[in-house]
Amino acid sequence: MAVGIFDSGLGGLTVLDAVEKRLPEVPFVYLGDNAHAPYGVRDADDVYELTTRGVERLWAAGCDLVILACNTASAAALRRMQESWVPRDKRVLGVFVPLIEALTEREWGDNSPPREVQVKHVALFATPATVSSRAFQRELAFRAIGVDVEAQSCGGVVDAIEEGDMILAEALVRSHVDALKRKMPDPQAAILGCTHYPLMQNIFQDALGPDVEVYSQPNLVAESLADYLTRRPEMLGEGAAKQFLTTGDPKRVSARATQFLRREITFEQA
């Protein structure tokens, strides 16, 4: 009954932590493609190839349902995968859906015409690949009108977090927020469009100010997944063991993961 969680590196652990707390009875298999992180500077074809390879590994581990806990993969690869690659008995879901559900206050299955929503000025912080894909703006436009989205490419933040250099990560976050506010001085809401960024959520909030509502993905994804499994319990695969897999150095990745989640995490070679 395992569910797979895929990320380019360690950022998806923020999602894993939230879904484990929300669904303690479900074993999760986490795969971090640390050998090829970060994805945010890669082109779409490269991201697609790496993502499909990772998803296949999770299917082999008994996970019929895989969550792409990576915004870059969700933005650059997911639609192509769903349209022409994912077999009928499997599911691959992304992490944009819960964000847009929360921002627009409507269910994903609501196919009524786009309508005006309360939030008019949104700041999007994401990797270069996610920003260039414009996937968030495209999906938002299907559901809401009159929303101004200003996207800020946050180069270097993922690399700093993966290396454990949180001082550099904080400096970069504050620099990127300053750059965004020069383009959009008064955002009403901010989207943390990378699953690494919740590790820096307090810094984003401090730099943006108390009047900006910051939308972070882990808890939103956890609630969305719980709802999905209630409606589609057959998508729980045959896997029964909780696992942490990495394409990188298991010892090094385990040490970083333990530092991030503040509990011992042991990765195995994928």
Q: Is the pLDDT of residue 160 over 90?
A: yes
For 132-146, how does the pLDDT look when each residue is reduced to its tens digit (9 = 90+)? 999 999 889 888 999
For 192-215, how does the pLDDT look when each residue is reduced to its tens digit (9 = 90+)? 999 999 999 999 999 999 999 999
Q: Is the pLDDT of residue 179 over 90?
A: yes
What is residue 97's predicted lDDT score, i.e. its pLDDT? 81
Angstrom distance (rounded) from CA 267 to CA 249: 9
Exposure of 238 in the CB half-sphere (CA atoms within 13 A): 5
Q: Is the pLDDT of residue 109 over 70?
A: no
What is residue 164's predicted lDDT score, i.e. its pLDDT? 86
What is residue 105's predicted lDDT score, i.e. its pLDDT? 83
Taking each helix axis from N to C end, the angle separating 250-261 and 13-22, rounded to the nearest 10 degrees, works out to 60
Active site residues: 70, 194
* Topology adopted by domain 3-94+218-269: Rossmann fold (3.40.50)
Q: What is the mean pLDDT of the chain?
A: 93
Angstrom distance (rounded) from CA 215 to CA 97: 13
Confidence bin at 108 (pLDDT 50/70/90): low
What is the rounded average pLDDT of the residues 99-107? 84
Residue range(s) in the chain whose domain bears CATH number 3.40.50.1860: 3-94+218-269, 97-216
Q: Which CATH number fits domain 97-216: 3.40.50.10470, 3.40.50.300, 3.30.930.10, 3.40.50.1860?
A: 3.40.50.1860
What is residue 250's predicted lDDT score, i.e. its pLDDT? 98
What is the rounded average pLDDT of the residues 23-37? 95
Q: Is the pLDDT of residue 174 over 70?
A: yes
Identify the CA nearest to 169 among candidates 6, 8, 11, 5: 11
What is residue 80's predicted lDDT score, i.e. its pLDDT? 95
Q: Is the pLDDT of residue 241 over 70?
A: yes
Confidence bin at 222 (pLDDT 50/70/90): very high
Write down the pTM of the prediction.
Answer: 0.90
